[in-house]
Structure 1
Amino acid sequence: MNFISGGGSSPAQMSLIDILFPGLSVVSASVQQLLAGNLDSYTRLFCTLGVFVLFTRYAVRYVWDLVRSYFMSTLHVSYYDEAYDMLVDWIAQQPFVHNAQSLIARVRSPQRTTIQNQAKKKPLTFSPWDGSFPFWYKGHLLILYCMVKDHREDIYISSIGLYPNILKELVEECRGRYLNNINKKITVFEHREGEWKKTRLRAIRPISTVIMDKQVQDDLLGDMKDFLDEDTQKWYADRGIPYQRGYLLYGPPGTGKSSFSLSLAGEFELDIYTLQLSGISDSKLMKLFAELPPHCIVLLEDVDAAGMGRRDDADTDQENNSGSGVTLSGLLNVVDGVSSQEGRVLIMTTNHIEHLDEALIRPGRADKRVHFKLADGKISAQLFHTVFKQTPDHKQAKKQSSDETIERLAKDFASKVPDQIFSPAEVLSFLLERKNSPFDAVTAVEGWVAKAKETASQLKREGSWVQESGC
């Protein structure tokens, strides 16, 4: 069947096939001429094919953009958000990952692994990387997009059809699995490129295993429990008092300040956000504090090492270097100024409280000060008990020791360790080297103490020689 269109002296004919498939008759004629040996039609054919391919690609892209805009729902997940970790952990367990052509391998080490077991050492997981990956979820076709930007990855998922609830169901499932995986663990966040990023999970350490003064520990636990109570929050709000609490943990290195902070997070099931102030500007610090969740622990470690001296000694330096690091005024502003975040628990640690400005550690900013001391007889005995006590899962392999024997040996051990000389970390390190024999620990402790004193005396003499020589 032909359609005749008049126009000019010679009428043009257009077949039905040209209407349905524009240009197909031209391609067919060119192929026939090419087979007949007409090379001019060869060039004509390729030009026609090229135009057809370009038109097809444009048409497909245009139609796909229309589908994505009007017939698809999309869920975006930022790399720095914890939802990213939830989704990535879920994706790594899905069957469609095995068929993906672009993958990234990650090491996922278990929390407690027998080092000798090679099958469990540094296990690998695989996730899709830098591309689009279709998969089915509860009867719905979803497409996972992984976009690489600056050596990190942004993820978003689209569903075919106007049904956004399926994406919410997927994320809720990811969240449920994620919460189950982090049960009895502490989520630790650190500063990464101006954002908070989850860096690791730590097994909860019972607060009872932290060796410190029992009365001080109970007082701090009771204070924090009262602060986190819902009635307390309402009490603060009714009186217009900022709902914040701050603690200053100070003492020599190795006395358990950071360990106690982690145990507090586990005791009250709070995430912990750790931050080193060195190398961070006031504006970045303000941004990080503004992004904190309502209930969490913020751990500022070694605040004395951030270059902020006492106000009367450092005002001039802070004015000259305000753009190079955190200033005292900037830190005070995020602690309890207009930029401070309510609901959080602030813990600051320092080895040298005498180096801190009084404005930073006054009540209202550091509501309680907790002194972590060097080991005394009571702490040394507690450390001995911790290392050598009998547990249901582990007995002394060579020598069975009763509780009465351990009690007697602990007193003997503590009497041989001088008070306020060694940190709990040093005493614990000595005991761990002899963890298989409490008798050896008691026998060797006097020699260890004498050697440590001799080493300290030698270092002191060398330091005096350096000072006297003017080096």
Structure 2
Amino acid sequence: MVYSETNSTAGLPPGNSLAEMSLPDLSSYLPPIVMLGALAAYLGWKPPKPRTILKNWLMSRIEVRWTDNIFEALEDFLAQEWVCKMSTHRLATTGSRLPWNKNEPNSHEEHVMGTTPPRTCSLPSLTLTPANGNHWFIYEGRLILLEREEREDAWERSQSLHLMCFGWDGSILRKILHAARLRHAELDENKTAVYRAQSNNKSIAWTRASGQGIRELSTVIMDPDLQKKFIEDIDGYLQPETRRWHTERGIPYRRGYLFEGPPGTGKTSLCIAVAGLFKLKIYILNLNNIAEDDLNNLISSLPQQCILLLEDVDSQKITNSRTTEPDNSFTTFQRLSLSGLLNAIDGVIASEGRILIMTTNHKDKLDPALIRPGRVDMTISFEYPDFDSIKRLFLLMYAEYPVEEKKEQQQPASSQCQFCPRLQPSPPANIPGNNISQDELQALANTFAASFPEKEYSQARILGYLKKHSGKPKRAVNLIAELFGEEE
């Protein structure tokens, strides 16, 4: 069909025919468009991929970095069988810092292998976790995407976990984090978690070092009165009304202790036992070769109730100097100064609610400012064991389990403590396999303790000897001369 010019312009007003209408001149827009395209090509810009648009616009995301304690809790949670089964790319690690125990009946290795490793097996524990990349799994009916990312360059190596779900409501992701924290706490219910500061080139963070069984206070052989005083002081400090009292009066809510005495007398052992008693985590910090900024970051990241342990502070190079010593190596790194340490543990940025425990073999070498009242609220002196303490060590080693002393053998009421009722364990009536009565074992303990000069041998030295004769109390008494022979 052929249309005439009259038909095609019939509906237009006079003077507005197609021939008379002028089209816009697009040539004026062409140079800016070309310039923008050239700039994008020069800068290497590329249009976003559909996958990127999906993650950034249509999904909720939570990032967990390795420098935070929640990272290991989430990693442990994702190491469960139901998550790993849905992942085709897994990371196998041995000797992991995760709180799996290969000898526990519910260990991850049993889930994976379906068998229990023999007791004599020397293989390290095996843990499977989702490896780097993307992993899909279902949690409470919702599809969840886990992205594990590891970045490494010449200066730093870091890891992060990304949890993502469809939609803008990320409550399901918060549920996963909450469940991970609860499960992590359950695994540590009967353990004392120990953390150390781990450096990763530029960054430094607390990393779980171990989770050891809770140590009984009755196994720490020391002055019962000092132990009772220390335990009751910590218990009073951890009470909610104590924190409220400090807050109302504007007093920093912190507590500091100094354990001083010869090596091997139980300073670290008491710290571990107290942490287990009050369900506190231990954070061990070595002050050598640490920068002031790193120390401030570590101190400020401590949880509200924990133990910060500084071991052998007299051997660390900053406790006698107030100026930063220059480093003679080729690096520009500068060691921490004493003033920097004091500001970190007792300054504006110092964390509230923590318990500081410093151990030293030589109190006289410490700067007075480090141990002044306010920074150190109580000093506990440890000594080599006397006759009674050596006897308790012997009974502790050869008793099947500690039991209460008879009333006539108990300490005076002033030495008793509601938190440590078994400060002096006594053996049961008979020890299986030895056929030694309680009276005979008491006599052996008296003979053993009488063989030692008082306060000349450390608890660690005596325990080391007794462990060589484990389960053989008579042999330990008869061969006591070999311990003295080691001194010659």
Q: TM-score range by the shorter chain?
A: 0.7 to 0.9
Alpha-carbon distance, 1:130 to partner:
1.2
Q: 2:449 aligns with which of 414, 426, 433?
A: 414
- Residue 372 (str. 1) matches residue 382 (str. 2): yes
Q: 1:142 aligns with which of 136, 141, 144?
A: 144
Equivalent residue, structure 1, for 2:486: 452
Q: Deviations over 1:179-231 (max 9, x none)?
A: 21111111111111221122221211112211111000000111111111111
Q: Deviations over 1:433-470 (max 9, x none)?
A: 11121111111113422x1332xxxxxxxxxxxxxxxx
Note closer, same or farther for the CA distance 1:295–1:152 as it changes in structure 2 (3 Å cut): same
Which structure 1 segments of 5+ residues have no match?
Answer: 1-57, 455-471
Q: 1:291 aligns with which of 301, 304, 308?
A: 301
Higher RCO (CA 8 Å, separation ≥ 6 residues): 2
Equivalent residue, structure 2, for 1:13: none
Name the SS of the counterpart of 1:453 in structure 2: coil
Name the SS of the counterpart of 2:147 in structure 1: strand
> How many Å separate the matches in 2 of 1:421 and 1:115?
44
Name the SS of the counterpart of 1:248 in structure 2: strand
Q: Deviations over 1:372-412 (max 9, x none)?
A: 11122122111101100133999845422222222221111
Q: What is the one-letter code of the residue matched to 2:138?
A: W
> Is residue 255–residue 354 contact of structure 2 (8 Å, CA) maintained in 1?
yes
> How many Å separate the matches in 2 of 1:120 and 1:163?
47
Q: 2:235 aligns with which of 225, 233, 241?
A: 225
> Is residue 278–residue 305 contact of structure 1 (8 Å, CA) maintained in 2?
no
Equivalent residue, structure 1, for 2:135: 133
Q: What is the one-letter code of the residue matched to 1:240?
A: G
Note closer, same or farther for the CA distance 1:256–1:111 as it changes in structure 2 (3 Å cut): farther
Q: Deviations over 1:209-262 (max 9, x none)?
A: 111110000001111111111111111122222111100001111111111111
Alpha-carbon distance, 1:172 to partner:
2.0
> How many Å separate the matches in 1 of 2:86 and 2:76?
17
What does 1:113-128 align with in structure 2 at a 5 Å threshold?
Answer: 117=119, 121-128=123-130
> How many Å separate the matches in 2 of 1:253 and 1:171?
42
Length-normalised TM-score, structure 1: 0.77
Q: What is the one-letter code of the residue matched to 2:374?
A: G
> How many Å separate the matches in 2 of 1:174 and 1:202?
20
Q: Deviations over 1:72-113 (max 9, x none)?
A: 111211112222112211211133524534321122562757
> How many Å separate the matches in 1 of 2:222 and 2:443?
21
- Residue 345 (str. 1) matches residue 355 (str. 2): yes
> Is residue 416–residue 446 contact of structure 1 (8 Å, CA) maintained in 2?
no
> Is residue 396–residue 436 contact of structure 1 (8 Å, CA) maintained in 2?
no
Q: What is the one-letter code of the residue matched to 1:250?
A: E
Alpha-carbon distance, 1:65 to partner:
2.6
> How many Å separate the matches in 1 of 2:138 and 2:228?
53
> How many Å separate the matches in 1 of 2:82 and 2:103?
27
Equivalent residue, structure 1, for 2:40: none
Note closer, same or farther for the CA distance 1:179–1:350 as it changes in structure 2 (3 Å cut): same
Note closer, same or farther for the CA distance 1:240–1:370 as it changes in structure 2 (3 Å cut): same
Note closer, same or farther for the CA distance 1:179–1:307 as it changes in structure 2 (3 Å cut): same
> How many Å separate the matches in 1 of 2:355 and 2:102?
27
Equivalent residue, structure 2, for 1:159: 165
Q: Deviations over 1:102-132 (max 9, x none)?
A: 3211225627579962568423121111110
Q: Deviations over 1:333-375 (max 9, x none)?
A: 1222223222111000111111111111111111111111112
Q: 2:175 aligns with which of 159, 169, 174?
A: 169
What does 1:170-209 align with in structure 2 at a 5 Å threshold?
Answer: 170-193=176-199, 194-209=204-219
> How many Å separate the matches in 2 of 1:115 and 1:134?
31
Note closer, same or farther for the CA distance 1:112–1:300 as it changes in structure 2 (3 Å cut): farther
Q: What is the one-letter code of the residue matched to 1:166?
A: I
> Is residue 313–residue 319 contact of structure 2 (8 Å, CA) maintained in 1?
no
Equivalent residue, structure 2, for 1:50: none
- Residue 405 (str. 1) matches residue 440 (str. 2): yes
What does 1:95-110 align with in structure 2 at a 5 Å threshold?
Answer: 95-98=82-85, 100-107=87-94, 110=101
Q: 1:68 aligns with which of 55, 79, 86?
A: 55
Note closer, same or farther for the CA distance 1:90–1:339 as it changes in structure 2 (3 Å cut): closer
> Is residue 374–residue 421 contact of structure 1 (8 Å, CA) maintained in 2?
yes
> How many Å separate the matches in 1 of 2:217 and 2:119?
31
Q: 2:266 aligns with which of 256, 275, 296?
A: 256
> Is residue 135–residue 146 contact of structure 2 (8 Å, CA) maintained in 1?
yes
Q: CA RMSD in A?
A: 2.5
> How many Å separate the matches in 1 of 2:64 and 2:251?
36
Name the SS of the counterpart of 2:212 in structure 1: strand
Q: What is the one-letter code of the residue matched to 1:416?
A: S
What does 1:48-59 align with in structure 2 at a 5 Å threshold?
Answer: none
Which structure 2 segments of 5+ residues have no match?
Answer: 1-45, 105-115, 403-426
> How many Å separate the matches in 1 of 2:383 and 2:231?
18
> Is residue 78–residue 155 contact of structure 1 (8 Å, CA) maintained in 2?
yes
Q: Which moved more, 1:356-365 or 1:105-114?
A: 105-114
> Is residue 69–residue 206 contact of structure 2 (8 Å, CA) maintained in 1?
no
> How many Å separate the matches in 1 of 2:483 and 2:301?
49
Equivalent residue, structure 2, for 1:279: 289
Equivalent residue, structure 1, for 2:223: 213
Note closer, same or farther for the CA distance 1:318–1:99 as it changes in structure 2 (3 Å cut): closer
Name the SS of the counterpart of 2:475 in structure 1: helix
Equivalent residue, structure 2, for 1:245: 255
